[in-house]
Structure formats: C-alpha cells, structure tokens
Amino acid sequence: MRKKIVAANWKMHKIVAEARSYIQSLLVELGDETDVDVVLVPPFTLLQLCSEMVGESPAVKIGAQNMHPAMSGAFTGEISPQMLRDLFVRYVVVGHSERRALFGESDHFVGEKVRAAHEASLRPILCVGEKLEERAADRVHEVIDRQLAGGLEGIGPKEMQETIIAYEPVWAIGTGHNATPSQAQDVHSHIRAVIARLFDQATADRVRIQYGGSVKPDNAAELLRQPDIDGALVGGASLDPRSFAAIVKAARDAKA
Ligand code: PGA
C-alpha cells in the first residue's frame, strides 16, 4: 500500500501574518493525522516560519517550490539545496509547469534539480503534464515520456522510490476544469508503466504519483479513489486551511 501524499502549493501567496494563522488552523484541523503525508509548500520567504511552526508535528512536513541545482555559487536570486536543508525542508517541487512555461526551464535542467535534490537528501516532487493543444493532438504520452526521461535521467531505483511524480495537466491548473478521474487514472497508469520500463516493476509499484490541477474538496475523493492516484498537489484550494484539510481527509478516507 502506498501512503497518500497531499501537498499545498501556495505559489506566490501569503505573508508572515497569514501563514501564522493558517498553520495554527491547519494543525487544529489535522490533529494527529498520520495516515497521510502532508506537505506545506510556501514561498521561500515563509519556509523558516513554517518549519518552526510545524516543528516536530508528525503530520506536516515542509517543501520548497523550486531550487537551483548547484550547492552554492554566483547565481543571484537563487536558492540552493543546502539552504533548504538548513531550514529543515524535506521536499522540493521541480519542473512545475509555471516554471517551465514562464521561466523557460528545460527537461534537462529539471533533471539536474532532481539529481541535486537527492544529493541533498531532499525528496523531489517532479511535475509533468501536457498542454491543451498537446492533448487535442493526441500527444499526451509523448509529452509525458519526454518529461519523465529528462527529469529522471541519471538516478537509480533507490532515488526513484524517493521521488514523487505529480501529474498536472496544464489545462487543469487554476482553471476549475480538473481532469476527470478516468482521464487522470489513464495517465497515472501510463506514468507507472514508464517508470517500470526505465527502472523495474517493484520500483514503479512503490512510487507515489500525485494528481494536480483544480483539486477541490468536492472532487478530491473520487480522484483519490483511482488505483494509481496516490495523492494531490493542490494550488488554489490549499490557500484556505479548512479546504486543504478537507482534501487531506478525503485522501485518508479514499480506498482504491
Ligand atoms: P490548482 O494548482 O490547484 O490551483 O489548479 C495546482 C498546481 O499548480 O500545483
């Protein structure tokens, strides 16, 4: 059984006071929930506060939204894996479609980040997903295969098992149009088959694959009941602690 993992991607939202009251509410909402891995992914400016506030909470871990693959150096404006570790960050999102589209990140660069994350003992959440025109042109598998090949290049089965994949169809992000459970399940099972081909079946069976793209409390349960959907990467609906907690509870209760 793969443990479900639900992450809150705050993107470029929230300042200190907002984060403080959010975490207070979330910890109350979640109580001692430990059946689901819960990851808060705030902007860099809030990582330290969030780490301190969740402290030893067994329920909630902290992730970053991005990082540079180098451990240090002349990269003005960037943040290194080592800096994240220093703030007790455990996860890092890499290759989000907004980074790919708005900041020109290539599959190769995303792969460098995945390798750097493992070197620093951070768990990467590698995002993949097709654009609407790619789906319309029946190119979903081709796009996913290319993103997985680039993103997973040079890692071994052990690192693969510690990598989380997030399938996020670009047309579903922030649009209110989530993939249907069967559309998502189709791609998730394809992703697992690709991992089995690149590594081996036992590894593929252990990798957790999140769905992301307009996940809300009212559609989460059905998505999370699909056999290859092992969690959610939540943007908009994660900004409110009650709605995010409702999605975590849906993950806890989901039986494939
Ligand atoms: P959304 O974003 O839930 O607002 O669609 C998901 C994401 O971009 O990770």
State the Rg of the chain over Cα.
17
Query: Coil, strand, or helix at residue 203?
Result: helix
Catalytic residue among 68, 96, 118, 188: 96
Residue 26 pLDDT class (50, 70, 90 cuts) = very high
Dist CA 214 CA 203 (whole Å) = 29
User: CATH code at 86?
Assistant: 3.20.20.70
Asked which of 37-46, 49-58, 124-133 is least confident by mean pLDDT, the reply is 49-58
Catalytic residue among 98, 105, 112, 168: 168
Dist CA 99 CA 205 (whole Å) = 28
Residue 1 pLDDT class (50, 70, 90 cuts) = confident
Residues 170-187, mean pLDDT to the nearest whole number: 97
Q: How far is C-alpha 201 from the geometric centre of its chain's CA atoms?
A: 22
At 76-96, the pLDDT tens digits run 999 999 999 999 999 999 999
Domain count, the chain: 1
Beta bridge partners of 124: 92
Share of the chain above pLDDT 70, in %: 99
Please count the other Cβ atoms lying within 10 Å of the Cβ belonging to residue 146. 13
Per-residue pLDDT at 34 exceeds 60: yes
Residue pair 126/88 in contact by the 8 Å Cβ criterion:
no
Residue 217 pLDDT class (50, 70, 90 cuts) = very high
At 181-216, the pLDDT tens digits run 999 999 999 999 999 999 999 999 999 999 999 999
Dist CA 126 CA 168 (whole Å) = 10
Of the chain, the end-to-end C-alpha distance in Å amounts to 10
**What's the 183 CA to ligand 1 centre distance in angstroms?**
17
Residue 256 pLDDT class (50, 70, 90 cuts) = low
Residue pair 19/42 in contact by the 8 Å Cβ criterion:
yes
**What's the 204 CA to ligand 1 centre distance in angstroms?**
25
Per-residue pLDDT at 135 exceeds 60: yes
Q: Which of 3, 5, 2 has its CA nearest to residue 211?
A: 5
Residue 86 exposure: Cα atoms within 13 Å on the Cβ side: 8
pLDDT, the chain, mean: 97
Residues near ligand 1 (Cβ within 6 A) = 9, 168, 173-174, 212-215, 233-237
Determine the structural domain holding residue 40 and report its residue range: 5-255
The pLDDT assigned to 121 comes to 98
